[in-house]
Structure formats: structure tokens, C-alpha cells
């Protein structure tokens, strides 16, 4: 267990992104931005930067991933749910989810998996791929909506739709069991699912159906880039 999670070490450099007062870490958003810019350069190259117009959205995500329950409540974010991060192509959704893995791994961690890879796995291995994601582990399904329909032995399957239904069942089951447990009061949380997507809510419903869309409302905090957000890949 890292006794100083508010101090980040990158090579020979240390970055203090908060301070401990009364056994609680009080994070500093300006220092977090400095650290994330440095870490972004290391992960994505020298052209990476945090854009001024994205800072309000970044503040929401940072508050969520450090599990700042007070700030999240002020912004209408439920820390027990996952994140559905939507926005135009190239606005930086995937990069942010990769970057924020490094912010507070003692609080929140997850495995990022491209949705296309999940469908390719289904096409090769069949329904055991669906079972793989029905477990108490945190995932981020990247680029929801770009994946093809799955086909295994001539049977079509909306693979991510089925997985999201299973993840909803897992989410509600563990929510109920943990709501009565001691671990819940200590801040431990149940399985969470995160998503990045270029689709809006209407397009998600068209692609995955009303049943999935209804459950997504219960599972996710919707955080959205501005529709005019620039393409950072250019």
C-alpha cells in the first residue's frame, strides 16, 4: 500500500498533487493539471496538452476518480456509478481515460478494452467471451458503437449490448450486497463499468435498444465534451 498516494514519482521527479490533513488527502486541482500534463507527455508524446476548454470536464473526471464525494455531489455525479464519457471523434476521450488511470489508482482502477477487440474475441471464441466480462472487475469499454455485430457459427449477437445487460445485473447485485456491508462504509465499491463513445444518447438507444439504454441510465454518470470540441489528432 502506497502511504503517500498524493505524491507522484516519475523517474527522478516527484509531483505533490495534494496534502494530508487529518488523515485525509486534500487534492489541489492546479497541481493535478500540472502532473497530468507531464504524465500525458510521457504517455502520448510532446504534443499532448490539456486544453483550457476541457478543464471543467477534467475537473469533473478528477473529482470522480479521486472519489471526492462532496464535489461530485455538488455536480450531480454519483461516485457509486461508472462514467460514460461521450464526445466527437478525436476530442480526447480515450487519452483522458488512459491518463486518469494514473491519478488515484488506490481509489479507482480499471482495464481499458476496445469494443472492437471484444467482438473479435466473440467471433473466435463464442459466448465464453460474454462470461469473461460478467465478473467483479472494473472495465472501461473504449469506443462503444464502432464495433461490428458479432457472429459466431452463423449466429448474430449484439455483443456489447449483451455484456452491458450482464454488467448491469452485476452492478445492482453488488450494490445491494455492499449497501449492508462494513466494507461499503469504508469506501470500498462494487464493480464499475466505464465507457467512451462518439454516440449520443439517442444513437445509443438506436444501436443497443431501449432495455440497454434504460439500464445505462442507472449505471453511468454521463459526462460529455462540447459538440464543437476540436479534434486533437489534427
6-15 pLDDT tens trace:
999 999 999 9
Residue 184: per-residue pLDDT: 44
How far is 126 from 172, CA to CA, in rounded Å?
26
Q: What is the pLDDT of residue 147?
A: 96
pLDDT of residue 183: 44
Q: Give the lowest-confidence range in 61-65, 69-73, 154-158.
A: 154-158
d(CA 172, CA 233): 38
User: Quick one: pLDDT band at residue 198, thresholds 50, 70, 90?
Assistant: very high
How many Cα atoms occupy the beta-carbon half-sphere of 192 within 13 Å?
Answer: 22
Q: Where are the alpha helices (DSSP H) in the chain?
A: 29-44, 55-65, 69-74, 93-100, 115-125, 128-132, 159-178, 182-185, 201-219
Which SS3 state, helix, strand or coil, does residue 178 take? helix
Domain residue ranges of the chain, discontinuous segments joined by +: 79-224
- pLDDT tens digits along 144-153: 999 999 999 8
pLDDT for 203: 95
> pLDDT averaged over the chain?
91
List, for residues 88-106, the tens digit of each pLDDT value.
998 999 999 999 999 999 8
Q: How many CB atoms lie within 10 A of CB 77?
A: 19
Q: Is 123 exposed, middle or buried (0-12, 13-18, 19+ CB in 10 A)?
A: middle
Q: How far is CA 96 from the centre of its chain?
A: 9
**pLDDT for the residue 155:** 85
pLDDT of residue 177: 62
Its pTM stands at: 0.91
pLDDT at 179: 56
Say whether pLDDT at 77 is over 80.
Answer: yes
- Read off the pLDDT of each residue in 216-220 and give the average, rounded to a whole number: 95
What homologous superfamily is domain 79-224 in, according to CATH?
P-loop containing nucleotide triphosphate hydrolases (3.40.50.300)
Asked which of 41-45, 102-106, 110-114, 179-183 is least confident by mean pLDDT, the reply is: 179-183
Q: How far apart are CA 31 and CA 167, in angstroms?
A: 35
* Predicted pLDDT at 173: 85
Q: What pairs with residue 13 in β-bridges? A: 10
Quick one: average pLDDT of 185-204? 80
Amino acid at each position: 500500500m502506497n502511504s503517500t498516494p498524493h505524491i507522484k514519482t516519475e523517474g527522478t521527479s516527484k509531483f505533490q498533487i495534494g496534502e494530508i490533513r487529518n488523515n485525509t488527502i486534500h487534492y489541489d486541482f492546479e497541481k493535478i493539471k500540472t502532473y497530468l500534463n507531464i504524465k500525458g507527455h510521457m504517455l502520448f508524446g510532446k504534443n499532448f496538452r490539456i486544453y483550457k476548454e476541457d478543464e471543467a470536464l477534467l475537473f469533473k473526471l478528477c473529482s470522480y476518480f479521486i472519489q471526492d464525494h462532496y464535489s461530485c455531489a455538488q455536480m450531480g455525479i454519483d461516485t457509486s456509478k461508472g462514467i460514460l464519457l461521450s464526445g466527437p471523434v478525436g476530442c480526447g476521450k480515450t487519452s483522458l481515460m488512459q491518463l486518469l488511470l494514473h491519478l488515484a489508482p488506490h481509489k479507482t482502477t480499471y482495464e481499458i478494452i476496445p469494443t472492437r477487440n471484444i467482438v473479435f474475441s466473440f467471433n473466435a471464441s463464442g459466448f465464453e467471451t460474454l462470461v469473461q466480462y460478467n465478473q467483479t472487475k472494473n472495465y472501461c469499454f473504449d469506443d462503444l458503437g464502432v464495433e461490428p455485430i458479432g457472429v459466431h457459427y452463423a449466429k448474430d449477437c449484439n455483443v456489447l449490448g449483451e455484456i452491458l445487460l450482464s454488467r448491469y445485473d452485476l452492478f445492482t447485485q453488488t450494490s445491494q450486497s455492499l449497501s449492508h456491508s462494513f466494507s461499503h462504509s469504508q469506501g470500498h465499491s462494487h464493480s464499475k463499468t466505464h465507457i467512451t463513445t462518439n454516440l449520443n444518447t439517442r444513437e445509443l438507444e438506436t444501436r443497443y435498444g431501449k432495455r440497454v439504454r434504460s439500464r445505462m441510465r442507472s449505471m453511468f454518470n454521463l459526462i460529455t465534451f462540447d459538440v464543437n470540441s476540436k479534434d486533437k489528432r489534427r
